[in-house]
């Protein structure tokens, strides 16, 4: 069994990005810029945004965070996004989700200029991903693909079971895996018998936010298990959606929580922002 080290891979990617940023500065006088829009006071969202801003600073980006209160109107958020769309110093715009319930998330995401949509949530980029055209791809599933590449995990013809069908994780993950010629099953909350699908899979990718949902008897011997869940327990500890202690002995590869997919999400956000900056030249 091998534990996939997302923390180390994320560092490696960030070092490469820092070099690219330095080159862009020297040769083209360009500094990639990321704008983050943060609404309300959800502690997890604040923590994520702080990590993103810190990572931007480390690789030499220009970054700004627009923090707005819960009471902000949809029109004011849209006005801020439009300002960022028009700002030539900004290559990437990220609206931290989830948004307060009085805001129409779909409407907000549609306002982001698709060429600055470094989260890959705009329908334009989702459509391009599904048709296997060059696109901005959601950072978490993209980070999982980077892990497969780094660990030379062949996807062609593999039976992959995705647990969770969200717009942020499960759906883009399924498109990426299909594009890589895997045979993909997407399960979700209404799936009748989850274990009957996971047990058959060569690779299981889980992102639902249910602590320890995936147990040892749901996984085939020698499978690869990717855990996208991050759940904070009452005692303050972080656990994934996979019962790591009992599942890991059966696996060929498994990602830990923390230190697995989480750090890759930030690395891919930086990578998407550099891609955007280069495409703007």
Residue ranges binding ligand GUN (CB under 6 A): 94-97, 119, 139-140, 168, 265
Q: How far is the CB of 96 from ligand GUN (least distance, A)?
A: 5
Q: Nearer to ligand GUN by C-beta: 14 or 265?
A: 265
Q: Nearer to ligand GUN by C-beta: 37 or 201?
A: 37
Q: How far is the CB of 166 from ligand GUN (least distance, A)?
A: 9
Q: Nearer to ligand GUN by C-beta: 97 or 252?
A: 97
Residue of this chain nearest to ligand GUN (CB atom)? 97
Q: Nearer to ligand GUN by C-beta: 5 or 117?
A: 117
Q: How far is the CB of 210 from ligand GUN (least distance, A)?
A: 16
Q: How far is the CB of 45 from ligand GUN (least distance, A)?
A: 7
Q: How far is the CB of 120 from ligand GUN (least distance, A)?
A: 9
259 Cα distance to chain centroid: 14
258 near 230, Cβ under 8 Å? yes
Nearest to 52 by CA among 258, 280, 273, 279: 273
Q: How far is the CB of 227 from ligand GUN (least distance, A)?
A: 15
Known catalytic residues are: 52, 96, 119
85 near 45, Cβ under 8 Å? no
SS (H, E, C) the chain: CEECCHHHHHHHHHHHHHHHHHHHHHHHCCCCEEEEEEECCCHHHHHHHHHHHHHHHHHCCEEEEEEECCCCCHHHHHHHHHHHHHCCCCCEEEECCCCCCCCCHHHHHHHCCHHHCCCCCCHHHHHHHHCCCCCCCCHHHHHHHHHHHHCCCCCCCCEEEEECCCCCCHHHHHHHHHHCCCEEEEECCCCCCHHHHHCCCCEEEECCCCCCCECHHHCCCCCEEEECCCEECCCCCEECCECHHHHHHHCCEECCCCCCHHHHHHHHHHHHHHHHHHHCC
């Amino acid at each position: 069994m091998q534990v996939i080290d997302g923390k180390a891979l994320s560092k490696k990617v960030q070092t490469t990005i820092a070099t690219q940023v330095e080159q862009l500065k020297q040769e083209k006088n360009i500094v990639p810029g990321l704008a983050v829009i943060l609404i309300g006071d959800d502690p997890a969202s604040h923590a994520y945004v702080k990590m993103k801003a810190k990572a931007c600073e480390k690789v030499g980006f220009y970054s700004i965070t627009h923090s707005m209160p819960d009471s902000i109107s949809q029109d004011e958020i849209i006005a801020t996004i439009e300002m960022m769309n028009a700002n030539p110093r900004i290559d990437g715009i990220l609206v931290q989700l989830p948004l307060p319930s009085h805001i129409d998330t779909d409407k907000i995401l549609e306002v982001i200029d698709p060429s600055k949509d470094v989260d890959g949530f705009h329908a334009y980029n989702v459509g391009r991903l599904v048709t296997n055209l060059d696109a901005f791809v959601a950072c978490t599933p993209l980070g999982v693909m980077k892990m497969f590449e780094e660990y030379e995990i062949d996807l062609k013809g593999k039976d992959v079971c995705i647990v969770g069908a969200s717009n942020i994780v499960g759906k883009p993950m399924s498109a990426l895996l299909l594009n890589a010629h895997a045979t993909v099953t997407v399960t979700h909350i209404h799936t009748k018998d989850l274990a009957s699908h996971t047990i058959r899979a060569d690779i299981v990718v889980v992102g639902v936010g249910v602590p320890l949902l995936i147990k040892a008897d749901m996984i085939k011997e020698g499978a690869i298990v990717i855990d996208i869940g991050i759940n904070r327990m009452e005692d303050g500890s972080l656990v994934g959606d996979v019962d790591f202690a009992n599942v890991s002995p059966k696996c060929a590869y498994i990602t830990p929580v923390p230190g697995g997919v989480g750090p890759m999400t930030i690395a891919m956000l930086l990578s998407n922002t550099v891609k955007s900056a280069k495409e703007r030249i």
